[in-house]
Structure formats: C-alpha cells, structure tokens
C-alpha cells in the first residue's frame, strides 16, 4: 500500500475519500464506500494498431463494485441521502442504476425501490437487485415512463430519487474524469462514451472542466458521445416513444440530461452521433476477442463510435483516445451466448475425444 499526498491510502478508499475536496462532503456527511472508483485504464494492444491510434486506452468502469460506473455517483447520492436522515431511496433504471442503488441501499441499511421496464433489463442486473434485497417494481412501459413516475413519487413521499437527475450522482460520476487525468498525466484529446439518459457525458465534462480550472490538466478533451441508432433522440433531435436497441442499458427515448449533453458536445467541440446495433455488436466482439475485455453491449457503443470515426478517414495518429467501457460483460450473458454464435465442441468425457480437439494445437 502507498500513501498519497493527502495521507489517504491509494486504491484503498472510495471516491468520497479520494476526491473529497472536489465533492460536496461536509463534517456531517457519512463517508461510506464499497470500494468504488480506482478502475483500470488499460492501453490497447491490438485495436490501436488497426486504427492507427497509438495512444488508445480503455477505462474499465465494469470493475466497480456492482460492475458499472454508476457506483461512483451512487455512493455520493446515498451518502447525502443518509446525511439528511433518509430511510428510502428510489430509482428508475435500465438495470445498472438499480443494481448500484440496491447495493448501496443494502450497505446503508435503508430501503431501496427500483422501477424497471418489464422484460427490458438483462437477467444479470435483475439478479443483482434481487440479491441485494431491493423492492423491484416492473412497469409495463419504457424507462422514460418509469423515470417520470419516480420523479413524481419523490414529490409526494419521503423517498430520495437516486437517478442522475439527483445532482450528487453527477458530482460522484465526475471523479471518473479526474481519475483518467491522474492516470494519464493529462486529459486525453478525445473521450468516447455511450449516451443514454446523458448523465455520464454531463458528469465527465464537468469533471474535466473542474480539473482543468484547478490546473490539474493542461487541456480539455472533445466529448464524443454515441447513442444506439434505434434510441438516438439527441442525434435525431426528437424524443423517441419506443426506443429499440440490443444495448438495453441505453434504450432511452427522452434523456433527462439532454440539454447538458448538447452543452458538453458544443463546448468541447465534440460529437454526438449514433451507431447501429451491428456496429455495437462488432465492437463488443472485437473488444473481447482482440483485447481480452468483456464489456456489456451498451459500453461497446463507445468503441463502435471510435471505429466509425476511424472509418470516416480520420487520422488518429496524434490523438490520445480514451474509450469508457461503462459496464461489465457479465451483466448480460444471454447476449454473448445468443448473438455471438458460440463455438462450443460437445464431446464425451474421455481423454481421447478431448485430445482429438486439442491436437489441432500442432497446426498453430
């Protein structure tokens, strides 16, 4: 273990301790942590060559305690809720927010209600909410409808909404930008990420700006956000009633932080574009097979976006790129098994049959 300048143990604290000075932490804020943050920034070994982009990195947010970036914001939102004496939290979710809220709710001994679109969230994420003991409400409708309902409930009942409309969520999530700068030694030239409800792009932009203003970085990245083609309200400039995409985490038709996402794009001279499901799945496979990184489909939208930029003829040789991989592939295993036609050889349990397959090793 190493000690850093502020006397904190590097890698042993959650974001509330690690980035305390940048967060709304007061004397009365409980410092809680499930070990969120401090996720790896991995240098690309193979895609970088293919894309002619020597400075290409992946930020593995799936390494957070519940397997997605949501934990960074959730720990702050729940700490502030506890500070106010809250006994229950609630969220609408495409899956990851519900898993994170349920975990921090359980850890804090408060009640967690999660409202999800029925049949639209992956089994892994649902399993998390069940295991953590949340009260799960499946509505026959979209994420956007679930979020509307949750926001109205907060007005009537003593529950705190922990979706990214809660400003503390954004505060916590901006720490991912700090970490990237701390790990790289500067801000990247471009940051690629998936866009759903648009909280994350808002948070990253806030984080990069704050670090820049505090002279912790020498520049600001272009924010490169990507929506799925069938769920691209920001790109198409119109809300979508029935969003469709294989990437269930970003199946959102009317993002709550729409305006902030546009501001992040415009102020950073960035781009918000869309990628098809085929492009998402291609990136998902490439990451797993050529980089050894298993992320969930929505996360692969960032890399699909980078591939799209590269195929439009951009020269990336001088561009430092970070792709944010927002969630762990283990959250959505049905997809890997169904979509990426598996190559499984079924043989009987004897030495000779197994050896016959492995014998091909001689031809390598």
Residue 97 Cβ, how far from ligand F0G at the closest point, in Å? 4
Of residues 18, 64, 217, 299, which one binds ligand F0G by CB under 6 A? 299
Annotate each residue in 45-74 with x if it binds ligand F0G (CB under 6 A) or - if it does not, as one string.
-----------------------x-x----
Residue 313 falls in which region: left (phi positive, over 0), alpha (psi -120 to 50) or beta: left
Token pair for 83: 């500070």
Rg (CA), the chain: 21
Q: At what angle do helices 96-108 and 70-83 cross, to 10 degrees?
A: 40
**Nearest C-alpha neighbor of 288 from the set 320, 231, 332, 350:** 332
Write the DSSP string, 22-34.
Answer: GTT--TTS----S
**Nearest C-alpha neighbor of 114 from the set 138, 87, 136:** 136
Of residues 298, 321, 323, 336, which one binds ligand F0G by CB under 6 A? 298
Cβ closer to ligand F0G: 94 or 108?
94
Residue 8 Cβ, how far from ligand F0G at the closest point, in Å? 27
Torsion of CA 39, 96, 212, 302, to 10 degrees: 80
Classify burial at 139, counting beta carbons within 10 Å of its beta carbon; exposed 0-12, middle 13-18, buried 19 or more. middle
243 is a contact residue toward ligand F0G (CB under 6 A): no
The C-alpha atoms of residue 183 and residue 160 are separated, in whole angstroms, by 34
Of residues 164, 245, 254, 319, which one binds ligand F0G by CB under 6 A? 164
Of residues 47, 326, 332, 336, which one binds ligand F0G by CB under 6 A? 326
Q: Which residues pair with 322 in a beta bridge?
A: 57, 191
Annotate each residue in 175-214 with x if it binds ligand F0G (CB under 6 A) or - if it does not, as one string.
-------------------xxxxxxx--------------
Annotate each residue in 89-108 with x if it binds ligand F0G (CB under 6 A) or - if it does not, as one string.
----xxxxx-----------
User: 327 and 61 in contact (C-beta within 8 Å)?
Assistant: yes
Of residues 90, 150, 250, 287, which one binds ligand F0G by CB under 6 A? 250
Single out the segment in contact with ligand F0G by CB under 6 A; choices: 46-54, 88-96, 311-319, 344-352. 88-96
The C-alpha atoms of residue 32 and residue 26 are separated, in whole angstroms, by 13
Residue 127 CB partners (closer than 8 Å, separation 6+): none
Cβ closer to ligand F0G: 38 or 197?
197
Residue 289 phi, psi dihedral angles, 5° rounding: -80, -30
150 is a contact residue toward ligand F0G (CB under 6 A): no
Cβ closer to ligand F0G: 291 or 296?
296
Cβ closer to ligand F0G: 14 or 95?
95
76 is a contact residue toward ligand F0G (CB under 6 A): no
Beta strands 271-275; 321-325: pairing state: unpaired
Cβ closer to ligand F0G: 12 or 139?
139
Cβ closer to ligand F0G: 39 or 93?
93
Residue 341 Cβ, how far from ligand F0G at the closest point, in Å? 24
Cβ closer to ligand F0G: 69 or 211?
69
Residue 49 CB partners (closer than 8 Å, separation 6+): none
Task: Report the interface residues with ligand F0G, using CB under 6 A.
Answer: 68, 70, 93-97, 164, 194-200, 249-250, 296, 298-299, 326-327
């Amino acid at each position: 273990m190493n000690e850093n300048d502020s006397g904190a143990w590097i890698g042993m604290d959650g974001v509330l301790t690690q980035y305390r000075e940048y967060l709304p932490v007061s004397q009365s804020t409980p410092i809680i942590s499930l070990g969120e943050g401090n996720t790896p920034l991995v240098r690309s070994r193979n895609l970088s060559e293919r894309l002619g982009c020597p400075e290409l990195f992946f930020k593995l947010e799936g390494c957070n305690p519940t397997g997605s970036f949501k934990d960074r914001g959730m720990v702050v939102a729940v700490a502030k809720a506890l500070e106010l004496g809250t006994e229950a939290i609630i969220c609408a979710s495409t899956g990851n927010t519900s898993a994170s809220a349920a975990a921090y709710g359980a850890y804090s001994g408060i009640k967690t209600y999660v409202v999800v679109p029925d049949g639209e969230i992956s089994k892994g994420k649902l399993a998390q909410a069940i295991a953590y003991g949340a009260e799960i409400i499946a509505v026959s409708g979209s994420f956007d409808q679930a979020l509307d309902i949750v926001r109205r409930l907060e007005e009537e009942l003593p529950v705190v909404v922990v979706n990214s409309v809660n400003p503390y969520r954004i505060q916590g999530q901006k720490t991912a930008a700090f970490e990237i700068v701390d790990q790289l030694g500067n801000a990247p030239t471009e940051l690629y990420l998936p866009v759903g409800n648009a909280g994350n792009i808002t948070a990253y932009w806030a984080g990069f700006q704050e670090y820049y203003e505090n002279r912790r970085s020498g520049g600001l990245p272009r924010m490169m956000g990507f929506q799925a083609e069938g769920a691209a309200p920001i790109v198409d400039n119109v809300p979508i009633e029935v969003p469709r995409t294989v990437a269930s985490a970003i199946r959102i038709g009317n993002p709550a932080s729409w305006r902030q996402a546009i501001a992040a794009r415009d102020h950073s001279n960035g781009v918000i574009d869309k990628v098809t499901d085929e492009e998402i799945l291609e990136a998902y496979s490439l990451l797993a097979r050529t980089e050894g990184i298993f992320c969930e489909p929505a996360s692969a939208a960032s890399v699909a976006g980078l591939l799209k930029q590269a195929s439009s003829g951009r020269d990336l040789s001088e561009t430092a790129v970070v792709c944010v991989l927002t969630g762990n592939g283990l959250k959505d295993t049905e997809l890997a098994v169904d979509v990426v036609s598996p190559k499984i050889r079924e043989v009987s349990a004897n030495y000779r049959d197994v050896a016959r397959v492995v014998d091909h090793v001689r031809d390598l």
